[in-house]
Amino acid sequence: MRILIESHIPFIRGIAESAGHQVKYLEPDEFTPENVKDADALIIRTRTKCNASLLEGSKVKRIATATIGTDHIDLDYCSSHGIEVFNAPGCNAPGVAQYVLSIIARLKPDCQCIGIIGVGHVGSIVERWARSNGLNVLLCDPPRAAVEGNEKFVSADEIARRCDVITFHVPLDQTTHHMINREWLSLVSPDALIINASRGSIADTQALLEAPQTLAIDCWEGEPEINRGLLRKAAIATPHIAGYSLEGKQRATAMALHAILPEIEMSVPPVAESPSLTQIRESYDPVKDSEALKLNPSQFERLRNQYDYRKEPS
């Protein structure tokens, strides 16, 4: 099998080759129609856009992304052309939870109520770790509520009114685009902390620029060309690395590789059950990553691609 692999995916070099496959490693901007046309499979990250302009006329039949999201892949095109697409659900969820709770421990240590909007792989771990530390938690997840009932879920507006920390963990689609907007922000206490470690375009950048709340932002509209005013305004500003834990990258690589080559199995590290806020705070300092981006905003991609993966709390 001929496989193209994005060069920044860690822990993957040499594995497919040792199983007898032809492998070539490319930078994201090297995934061109010319380079892709004779490949059987692609293993990518979010910077590689897989759509008709890239894939038309190619031999590609499988695409695996070593990420949770698939926003960068035209799923309709792939489906209609017999291309299987695989992602890595939950791979970086503990790393994102570590990011969120380490920020809360620093910026809002007296938090009374955390609102989690989007309670999938990431939101569920944030919920579990928060509750295990005695924090009050409100949940908003309309798709889950439609299936499970409304008993344990509230609306995003209720979270806005009641919570002093609000963290977002939703996919980007028509229902979530600019869900952080002026109208919603008007319901939130000016003293609240809002964390976006989800998708950049769930937030209206202009609304955030005008918002009185404290902001922690890992995902940005238009990244890597991010709004410099919002960068200065955010208390914590990081280059889309919330889930960049060592263990998370190991899980993502193992899941993506196994999707393309089912005969290959890689062991994955376990997820901590209930680390304390002290353990989480000591395991990661987001302030350092924020300072690095604020000093070098033009280096967004370099800071992301050359990130020194942190260890999750044990």
Active site residues: 199, 223, 240
DSSP letter (8 states) at residue 165: E
Is there a contact between 202 and 169 (Cβ–Cβ < 8 Å)? no
Q: How far apart are CA 109 and CA 227, in angstroms?
A: 28
Distance of CA 110 to the CA centre of its chain: 26
Torsion of CA 288, 293, 295, 296, to 10 degrees: 140
Residue 155 bridge partners (DSSP): none
Using alpha carbons, select from 117, 26, 128, 42 the residue that is nearest to residue 78: 42
Q: How far apart are CA 64 and CA 255, in angstroms?
A: 9
Is there a contact between 264 and 253 (Cβ–Cβ < 8 Å)? no
Torsion of CA 236, 237, 239, 243, to 10 degrees: 30
Kindly tell me the sign of the dihedral angle through the C-alpha atoms of 91, 93, 95, 96: positive
Is there a contact between 42 and 20 (Cβ–Cβ < 8 Å)? no
Compute CA distances 231 → 99, 183, 208, 215, whole Å. 18, 22, 11, 10
